Every structure is written in structure tokens, then in C-alpha cells.
DNA sequence: CATGAATGAGAGTTCATTCAT
DNA sequence: GATGAATGAACTCTCATTCAT
């Protein structure tokens, strides 16, 4: 019970402050618990953060996998995937902003996290974006998508989704998400140019 | 002269470590100067960071403004703008990653920076993305671009550009930038779907 | 039964880590019991340590008393006493190193232990060394030992015994102890000078 | 100047409390300085302690080396060495008690210090006791000392010296030291047995 | 009796900032 | 203008002890 209180509080504080500026003191104040309790459940601040990410990710990753396995048309799958991404990022915008920053994209020298931890995080991203890649690849094979660099294209799509969320262009309501998903899919698939 | 040494060193250290993990001690070690000297030129760490951003931005913003004012076809202007963006972000990837993170996109309560400072940063972004918007708007008016939400479209284009840089998909060489600019423009304009 | 498990574990951990670095967590892990159980049997860490010392001391003190009461020649008694000391300290080297340190020899202001506890420990030492003194005194009265300050001489003998153990000059085997006892007695009685 | 104040305060606090119980807070209170200042001069608590030991040792070691090099009779040298040892340990009793404890004599698993640091300390001890060994060896070669295990004999002599100090049998006055040195030398050389 | 979740005082350490020289 | 010694608030983490079950 305390464990969950701590996780909830940590989620809030990490989201608000980022990893570095978040303090254990603030987390325990919000969780209404003692400092030692945090360290009974989590080895350290870093692992507390990781637990948060892991717990929030797993459902999302499962949903995404499910979509990839469906027998649907690629274009339809893409739209579904975009929607699932939006739902997840809308719900976890702040924490994932922090996570993405702390990972530093590539192999950067300094970060709050150990290299081992960073690798774990990166694998999660690579995995989810990889699913987008697979769908695109499938689309190319079926002639629905133009041949292109699916790795970059998937990253592009991903970056747009995340930006829409981070910029607050998408709200929490289902219809807001749906509308956004349609816009994103439309431009991603057909571009902005007039024919 | 000392001032410039400090700025150069600060650029390196902030880029490597991020805002929080960067220490004044490391900056002065690299700048080969004394700690007090930093505080003679800059009121504090935050303002040192801001100065850095301001100095690096201005040339870029000028270039972008120039493109916007050209008498060229919108599609051509878009490609040019993409190139200028890429050039700038490739050169300043690490510092801008830090900056974008610390700004926290919207009106978030806590950050390393004061609200006043954050507003200044945001205005810079709004301004550069605004130029993209204007070009798109011009394109719509001239019938080259499909009617769409230019605000969001510009942000989408921007996010893809930045992602390409942060993911290391674009190198520092001119031709790498040119190739990337073409790919981005191609998909942004015509989408990935087969016709 | 739990009580004995705790004592055994505590002995091991205190010996390995010293008083301060030993943690109750480590003790209960080794004793395979719960944290509360420790506090059912012992009022606190300090008293647990004391119990350990008391239990291990009593047999040794009894043996030493027995030797003192024998009707033997003083020189012979001295050798026997040295052997008993060696046996005891070899068996309890690590814990007694910790104990001797935490006592701080004299009336020092600060220690891990309360003054009352420290007094108890000191009395045990004074008592065992006192037996050595008595044997020496007996030797002087019988003309086997040169008149000298028996208090200091007994401490000197004691310190050499302990040093031999702490420096690892004496092993656990009976013959190693016997050899060491002979060397110590030889030099203590006759000195290192050539005649 | 602050550096010296910190060293003096640290000396007092480490001597009184031992390494673990000594706190940086107490040291700075006594040194009348700020916490950060300590870390400007010393990397950490461990290195502060080491600096203390190093500074206090060097004069003593030099004196001891000087005696070893004298052209004097071995027995005379032994007495001189004993005196120098007593002077040093009387002056530094408390800190050296702490040091000797934290070293844990041999290769013990856990200690406050890193293995590397422990090795440095041990070398200092080995060195000073080694000088005693050399003097004894010289004595044997010149026929003044009975053939014996000089390594152990030197350790025995050392342990007695230290014990005399730790037990408060020796005061700070020169004559107290002289008297003690004579008693120690007398028994070490000629034993306690009557002839 | 046995347990272990909960606790918080207190530890060592970092680092932006000040100010006398 | 240039300096760096001095500072202390703030940080993460430890661990003996309590107490409800």
C-alpha cells in the first residue's frame, strides 16, 4: 500500500520536476510516508524511476504488439497504432519527457543513469518504434506504402506523435485523440502538398 | 576574452552534461579561469546558459527570416528552410536538447529556470516555428499546399527535423544534410502512401 | 533456539565488521529470523554485543581461575596461563579486537557503549589480567621472579599474547599454540639479551 | 589556515570518537568553519584521516631512521628507539588507537577504509617495526642479543610499548617516559625471572 | 513469541554563490 | 578586472528501533 503511494507520488514529482530536481523528500511528503520506507521498497532513486517506467510501459507495449499481429490492412493498422501511441503518451506525457531526456538518445557520456539502465530504457523505445517499422514494412510489401527507409519513417511518425502530445495539441478525451490520430495519419500518408 | 572562453567552455559542458549536471567548477577548469570571473560576467548559472542560447540563435534566426522574405516558390522555400534548420540543429544538437528539455514545452510549474526566463526561450521557438507556419500559409494561399492546420503542420515538420538530428540520422557534412532535407521534404509534402 | 541463532550470527557479523559496521539486518539475515525477534531477546544492539562477550568469557575465566588455584610452581603456572590465554584469544580474536577497541582502554568520553557497560567490560579484563598479576606476585614471594611492578608486567605479558594472536603469529592448532606459548614464556622470563 | 584548523579539529574528534563515530559536523563545529571547506581541502573523510596520520608520522619515522643509522651499541640503540616510540605514542595515543583498529591487522574483509588505503597504513607500521627488527638483527650479529625470531620479538616489544601508553602507564613528562623506557628495556632484555 | 513494514534522525558529500584581496 | 577560499543549504542514502499484527 505504501509502495503504491510512493510510486504515485514519485510519478507526480518526477513528472513535475524531472529526474534531477525531484527530491526524495518531496516524494515522501506527497506519499505521506517516511524516508526509510522508500528505501525499503526501492534500492535507490534511479530504480524507483525505472520501476515507474516499467510498470507504465508494459500494458502499452502489449497493446501495440496485439495490433501488429492483427490481420488488418496496413493503413488501418497504422491508424490504430497511432491511436494507441497517442493514448499512452497523453497519459504519461510528463514522465516520458523526462525519460527521453535522461536517455540522451544515443551514447552520451553523462547522464543521471548508469549505462546499464540506459540500455534497458533504450531497448523499450527501440522495441515500440520497431513495431511501427514492421507495420510500414508490411505495407511496402503489400504495395500500400511507397518504398522508403522504414527506420527513419517510423522515427518521423513517432516524433510527430510525441510532439503533438508535448505541445498540448491533444487532450485526454477520446475524440480529441481520435481527431489527432486522423490528422497525423492523413499527413503522414498523403503529405501536405496539393495535387 | 575571458568572457568568450567561459562561453565556449560552458557550451561544451552544458552540452555534455545537461543543465543540472554541469558544474561551474567544470566550466572554469575548461575555460582556464577563476570562479569569481564567471560571476563578473554573468549573474548566475541560469543567465550564463541563456546568453549561450541567445548568441547561438541570432544568426540562425536571421537566416530563417531571410528565406521567408525571398521571392521563391513556397515548396522551394520549404526545402530551404528545412536545410537551414538542419544545419543549425546539427551544429547545436546537444545544447538544444538540453534547452528543449528544461523549457518543458508548456506552462509547467517547475523547471531549472524562472518563469520569466522560460518565456524568453519559448518566444524564440515560437518565432522560428512561426516562420515555417508563414511559409506554409503562403503555400496554401498560392494553392501549392493543401488547406490544413498550419500551426500543427509546422510543428510536425519541426519535430521531424529535430528528431533526425537527435537520432543521429544526419551528419555534419553538407551532403548528409542535403540528403536528409530532401527525404524530409519528400515525405512531408507527398506522404508515404503509394498512389 | 532463535536466541542462540541470533547470538551465533551476531558473533560472526560483529567479528567481521566491527561494532559499528555490523548491522542488525545482516545479523538477522544470517540468523534466518525476523528483526523484531532480536529485540524480543535483547534490549538493543549494545546489549546483544555484551551478551556475546559475557557468554564467551565465562568458560575462559573459570579455566584461568582454576590454574591460579593449582599447587604448581609459579613458572609452570605462567606457562599454563599463557596457553589458556592463547587458546581463548585465538578462538575469539576478531570479536575481542572489536571489544578492546570499543572499550577505549581508559575513561574516554565517547564510545559506542554507555559508561556503565564499559565498566563491566573493563572489570572482566582487570579480572583476567589480575590473575596473571597474582601468579607473578606468588612467583616473587617464592623467589622465582625478580621483584618488579607486577601490574605492569602482567599487562606487558598480556599485550604480547594478544599481539601474537592479532598478528596471526599463532594458528588454531594445538601445537602452534604450544610453540607460541613457549616462545612467549621464554622471552618474558629470560629476555632477549645474551649472557 | 582553515586547513590547519580542520586538521586540528579532526585530530581531536577522531581521537575522541574513533573513525566511524566522528562526524564531519562535529569537526567543522570545532574548527569553526563550513562543511564545504573541509571538502575543498580533503577529498573525503577517509583522506582527511589519512592526511592526519601522514603528517604526524613523518617526523617520527625520520627520528627512528636516524637512530637506526647511528654508530652505537645495539642495546643502547634499543633503549633510544623505545624512548622515541614512547614519545610518539604518548603524543598520539588516541588517534593511533583508532588507526590500529581500523587497519584490522591483516587482510580483513571489512573496514572503514579501502584496501588501497589500508595497505598504505600497514606499510607505515611495517616500516617502523622493521627498524626495530633491524636493530635486533644487528644485536644478534654482534653477539649482544640471543638468536631469536626478530620479527616476532620486534612485534612483542612494539606491543608492550603501545600497551604502556594505552593503559596510561606513561605520562607526557620526559622523566615518566624515561622511566618507562628503562623498565621496558630491562624486562625485554633480561626477563622477569630471577637467576 | 515471531514478525517485518514503517520510521526519521543523522551521515557524508556536492555545488552555486559570495566577497575580500 | 580577476581570483579562489569559504560557505551552507540541499541532496541521497543508512540503519537502529518500534509496534501492530
Q: In the block, which residue shows the cell 560576467? A: B41
Domain A1-42 has CATH 1.10.10.60: yes
Residue D177 near residue D170, CB atoms below 8 Å? yes
Closest to D166 measured CA to CA, from D85, D107, D96: D96
**Percentage of chain B exceeding pLDDT 90:** 76
Q: In this predicted structure, what is the pLDDT of residue D108?
A: 52
C39 CB-near residues (< 8 Å, 6+ apart): none
CA distance between the termini of chain C? 59
DSSP codes, chain C? -HHHHHHHHHHHHHHHHHHHH--HHHHHHHHT--HHHHHHH-SSHHHHHHHHHHHHHHHHHHHHHHHHHS-S-HHHHHHHHHHHHHHHHHHHHHHHHHHHHHHTTTT-S--SS-HHHHHHHHHHHHHHHHHHHHHHHHHHHTTSB----HHHHHHHHHHHHHHHHHTT-S-SSHHHHHHHHHHHHHHHHH-SB--
Residue D31 near residue D9, CB atoms below 8 Å? yes
CA distances from D158 to B27, D82, D129, D161, D185 (A): 52, 8, 7, 5, 11
For D67-92, the pLDDT digits (tens) are 999 999 989 999 999 999 999 999 99
Q: What is the DSSP letter of D71?
A: -
Interval C73-98 mean pLDDT: 93
| B4-38 residues labelled b (16+ CB within 10 A) or e (exposed) | ebbbebbbbbbbbbbbbebebebbbebbebeeeeb
Provide the greatest CA pair distance for chain A.
64
**pLDDT over 70 (residue D40):** yes
Answer whether any strand F atom is within 7 A of the Cβ of B30: no
- Per CATH, the homologous superfamily of domain A44-190 is Tetracycline Repressor, domain 2 (1.10.357.10)
Q: Which three cell numbers stand for residue B127?
A: 518565432
Residue D163 near residue C155, CB atoms below 8 Å? yes
Strand residue runs (E) in A15-112 = none
Interval B18-31 mean pLDDT: 94
Interval C65-75 mean pLDDT: 90
For D145-160, the pLDDT digits (tens) are 999 999 999 999 999 9
Tens place of pLDDT per residue across chain A (195 aa): 899 999 999 999 999 999 999 999 999 999 999 999 999 999 999 999 999 999 999 999 999 999 999 999 989 999 999 999 999 999 999 999 999 988 874 445 566 787 788 888 889 899 999 999 999 999 999 999 999 999 999 999 999 999 999 999 999 999 999 999 999 999 999 998 776
Q: How many residues does chain B have?
A: 195
Q: How far apart are the C-alpha atoms of A74 and C53, rounded to whole Å?
A: 76
D102 CB-near residues (< 8 Å, 6+ apart): D19, D111, D112, D113, D118, D121
Q: Which of B145, B151, B156, B179 to mutate to test the interface with A (most CBs of A within 10 A)?
A: B156
pLDDT band at B120 (very low <50, low <70, confident <90, very high): confident
Is there a contact between A108 and B16 if contact means CB atoms under 8 Å apart? yes
Q: How far apart are the C-alpha atoms of D167 and D158, rounded to whole Å?
A: 14
Residue D113 near residue D102, CB atoms below 8 Å? yes
**Percentage of chain C exceeding pLDDT 90:** 71
Is there a contact between C105 and D169 if contact means CB atoms under 8 Å apart? no
Determine the Cα angle at C157 with ends C18 and C142, to 5°: 150
Nearest residue on chain A to B151, judged by CA atoms?
Answer: A169
Q: Which three cell numbers stand for residue C190?
A: 629470560
CA of A24 to C1' of F11 (A): 9
Q: How far apart are the C-alpha atoms of A19 and A13, rounded to whole Å?
A: 9
Residue C169 near residue D155, CB atoms below 8 Å? yes
Cα-Cα-Cα-Cα dihedral of A113, A117, A119, A123, to 10°? Answer: -120
Q: What sign does the CA torsion over C115, C117, C123, C125 have? A: negative
Is there a contact between C136 and D192 if contact means CB atoms under 8 Å apart? yes
> Inter-axis angle of helices D150-166 and D115-141, to 10 degrees?
110
Q: In this predicted structure, what is the pLDDT of residue C106?
A: 41
Q: In this predicted structure, what is the pLDDT of residue B32?
A: 94
Q: In this predicted structure, what is the pLDDT of residue D45?
A: 96
Strand residue runs (E) in B37-193 = none
CA distances from B133 to B24, B129, C37 (A): 39, 6, 71
Q: In the block, which residue shows the cell 538493543? A: C44
| A116-147 residues labelled b (16+ CB within 10 A) or e (exposed) | ebbeebeebbeebbbbbbebbbbbbeeebbbe
**pLDDT over 90 (residue C27):** yes
**pLDDT over 80 (residue D194):** no
Give me the residue from D94, D153, D159 closest to C192, CB to CB: D153
Q: Which residue is nearest to nucleotide E10 (CA to C1')?
A: D23
C17 CB-near residues (< 8 Å, 6+ apart): C23, C26, D110
Q: How far apart are the C-alpha atoms of C22 and D150, rounded to whole Å?
A: 36
Residue A150 near residue A137, CB atoms below 8 Å? yes
Q: In this predicted structure, what is the pLDDT of residue D120?
A: 87
What CATH number has the domain spanning D50-190? 1.10.357.10
A83 CB-near residues (< 8 Å, 6+ apart): A177, A178, A181
Give me the residue from C101, C144, C164 closest to D101, CB to CB: C101
Q: In this predicted structure, what is the pLDDT of residue C116?
A: 79
CA of A5 to C1' of E6 (A): 13
Size of interface A-B (CB pairs under 8 A): 133
Per the DSSP assignment, residues forming a β-bridge with C54 are none
Q: In this predicted structure, what is the pLDDT of residue B106?
A: 41
Q: How far apart are the C-alpha atoms of B48 and A70, rounded to whole Å?
A: 53
Q: In this predicted structure, what is the pLDDT of residue C192?
A: 78
Q: How far apart are the C-alpha atoms of D138 and A184, rounded to whole Å?
A: 93
Selected from 3.30.2290.10, 3.30.2270.10, 1.10.357.10, 1.10.260.40, the CATH number assigned to the domain covering C45-190 reads 1.10.357.10
- Residue D159: its chain C contacts at CB < 8 A? 159-160, 162-163
Is there a contact between D193 and C75 if contact means CB atoms under 8 Å apart? yes
Lowest mean pLDDT among B118-122, B137-141, C154-158, D110-114: D110-114
Domain map of chain D by residue range? Answer: 1-42, 50-190
Q: Which residue is nearest to nucleotide F2 (CA to C1')?
A: B37
Q: What is the mean pLDDT of chain D?
A: 91
Q: In this predicted structure, what is the pLDDT of residue D106?
A: 41
Chain E: positions less than 7 Å from a protein CB are: 1-20
Is there a contact between C97 and D110 if contact means CB atoms under 8 Å apart? no
Answer whether any strand F atom is within 7 A of the Cβ of D1: yes
CA of B26 to C1' of F7 (A): 19
Q: What are phi and psi of B193, to 5 degrees?
A: -70, 145
Chains D and C touch (3+ CB pairs under 8 A): yes
Nearest residue on chain C to D139, judged by CA atoms?
Answer: C193
HEC string for B100-127: HHHHCCCCCCCCCCCHHHHHHHHHHHHH
pLDDT band at B108 (very low <50, low <70, confident <90, very high): low
Higher pLDDT, D103 or C112: D103
Query: Hey, is D193 helix, strand or coil?
Result: strand
C30 CB-near residues (< 8 Å, 6+ apart): C8, C9, C12, C13
Q: What is the mean pLDDT of chain B?
A: 91
Residue D39 near residue D57, CB atoms below 8 Å? no
Q: How far apart are the C-alpha atoms of B78 and A160, rounded to whole Å?
A: 18
CA of D47 to C1' of F13 (A): 21
DSSP codes, D114-178? -HHHHHHHHHHHHHHHHHHHHHHHHHHHTTSB----HHHHHHHHHHHHHHHHHTT-S-SSHHHHH
Chains B and A touch (3+ CB pairs under 8 A): yes
pLDDT band at B111 (very low <50, low <70, confident <90, very high): low
Q: In this predicted structure, what is the pLDDT of residue A118?
A: 85
> How many CA atoms does the CB half-sphere of C11 hold within 13 Å?
15
CA of A99 to C1' of E16 (A): 26
**pLDDT over 80 (residue D53):** yes
Q: In this predicted structure, what is the pLDDT of residue D192?
A: 76
Neighbours of C31 (CB within 10 A): 21
Amino acid at each position: 500500500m505504501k509502495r503504491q503511494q510512493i510510486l504515485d507520488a514519485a510519478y507526480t514529482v518526477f513528472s513535475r520536476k524531472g529526474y534531477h530536481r525531484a527530491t526524495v523528500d518531496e516524494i515522501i511528503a506527497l506519499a505521506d510516508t517516511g524516508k526509510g520506507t522508500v528505501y525499503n521498497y526501492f534500492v535507490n532513486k534511479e530504480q524507483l524511476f525505472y520501476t515507474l517506467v516499467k510498470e507504465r510501459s508494459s500494458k502499452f507495449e502489449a497493446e501495440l504488439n496485439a495490433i501488429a499481429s492483427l490481420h488488418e490492412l496496413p493503413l488501418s493498422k497504422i491508424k490504430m497504432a497511432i491511436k494507441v501511441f497517442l493514448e499512452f503518451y497523453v497519459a504519461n506525457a510528463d514522465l516520458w519527457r523526462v525519460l527521453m531526456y535522461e536517455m540522451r538518445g544515443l551514447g552520451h557520456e553523462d547522464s543521471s543513469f548508469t549505462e546499464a539502465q540506459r540500455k534497458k530504457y533504450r531497448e523499450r523505445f527501440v522495441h515500440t518504434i520497431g513495431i511501427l517499422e514492421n507495420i510500414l514494412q508490411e505495407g511496402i510489401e503489400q504495395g500500400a506504402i511507397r518504398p522508403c527507409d522504414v527506420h527513419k519513417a517510423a522515427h518521423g511518425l513517432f516524433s510527430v506523435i510525441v510532439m503533438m502530445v508535448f505541445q498540448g495539441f491533444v487532450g485526454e478525451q477520446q475524440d480529441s485523440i481520435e481527431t489527432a490520430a486522423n490528422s497525423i495519419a492523413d499527413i503522414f500518408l498523403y503529405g501536405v502538398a496539393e495535387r
